[in-house]
Structure 1
């Protein structure tokens, strides 16, 4: 009798559902703490978390065969939803970056002077390049000599890199003076675990999907 695939000792479906809950809970927590609109700075943590904890996570998880909220839709429909979510992710990330840059300009602080700031800048740039490169999946003839299957593999790998960079930026963000002034103790550790847990599940989903395809083709 075939058993359900497992991840880290739990069923993949359970892990995917947990990741949905984790990314939504983390986004709600940052929204409550930042109170978007209360200041210019408040838009930075809110928009960045919305981009990389919610939109990007959901854009990847919708392809999960074990816990996608739209698994009944066709592959083509899922791709369209993926594009919309990734577009929202990049828009929020760009606005979040612009808000912190302008805020630092107003208060006279140095730009990208911390690891969090530098990684955040790299993440937004990588996410932008990833979205731009994804056009080749719609128009594969733009890249001569590469098959669509190969383009999809590179897209998945680059997307995973962008996601892990985003998660790393969020983890560094919870170490900031702004976050630690409001959250400490066990709650801080639980908050820091949220991007890490999401990253592990997403990484497993992406790598297993393409490893399975490679086994079928071999």
Structure 2
């Protein structure tokens, strides 16, 4: 006999819980590795750049995962509550990333180095700007009545979902590209080459799992969007 939550939903099955646990593990482990390496030399200002960036990215990835109704942590919550958690986590994540970004700029100034010369720095700058834009657009996605009937709510939600998917990919790429900078090697913590490869593999697979449901949802909503409205009778 199946049990139900107070919300009326059936509890997630073992396979769903296992999928959720694996996804969280793949996201958390590489970030923990970056944090351990960063805290190895906390007296260096630049060490706080990857620490803030890694924590901020993890929180943003978890925010994306939470809105899709993942089973392990938020399956008991209603969608409005998941949306609230989503934007709170996104705000915290973006603030941490902004702190990491400022630390990198200050460190460059202290060392009299030029800004935005590497792929990683340029990619990260573009990612932060686009992330802030998508986050602001999320306000409209959560309040579609403001633009209705001039703009169909499904169009706003599809655009926000596609923007979120793009930003998730950009942040994962930014973190991975950061491990290919000299910082990781200079920290002299274990085998940095192996660590880099594990970070890449874990975030790559974890990112696919995080985006699996949002991509399906975006495709489904896009299909609804392109349908020709039936004339009323």
Q: TM-score, normalised by structure 1?
A: 0.85
- Residues 1:151 and 2:156 are matched in the alignment: yes
Matches within 5 A, 1:104-183: 104-143=108-147, 145-181=150-186, 182=188, 183=191
* Inter-partner Cα distance in structure 2 for 1:122 and 1:214: 26
Residues 136-185 of structure 1, C-alpha deviation per residue, up to 9 Å, x if partnerless? 12333554621222111110100111111111111111111111344434
- Residues 1:192 and 2:200 are matched in the alignment: yes
* Inter-partner Cα distance in structure 1 for 2:199 and 2:16: 22
Aligned-pair Cα RMSD in Å:
2.2
- Report if aligned partners of 1:61, 1:67 keep a CA contact under 8 Å in 2: no
Give the stretch that moved more between structures: 182-191 or 67-76.
Answer: 182-191
Structure 1 pair 31/187, CA: closer, same or farther in 2 (3 Å)? closer
Give the stretch that moved more between structures: 100-109 or 63-72.
Answer: 63-72
Residue 76 (structure 1) shift = 0.5
Matches within 5 A, 1:26-175: 26-35=30-39, 37-52=42-57, 54-143=58-147, 145-175=150-180
Structure 1 pair 213/139, CA: closer, same or farther in 2 (3 Å)? closer
Runs of 5+ consecutive residues of structure 2 not aligned to the other structure: 1-14, 228-233
Residue 13 (structure 1) shift = 4.7
- Report if aligned partners of 1:171, 1:192 keep a CA contact under 8 Å in 2: yes
Runs of 5+ consecutive residues of structure 1 not aligned to the other structure: 1-10
- Report if aligned partners of 1:57, 1:198 keep a CA contact under 8 Å in 2: no
Residues 180-206 of structure 1, C-alpha deviation per residue, up to 9 Å, x if partnerless? 344434333112212211221122221
* Inter-partner Cα distance in structure 2 for 1:185 and 1:203: 27
Q: TM-score, normalised by structure 2?
A: 0.80
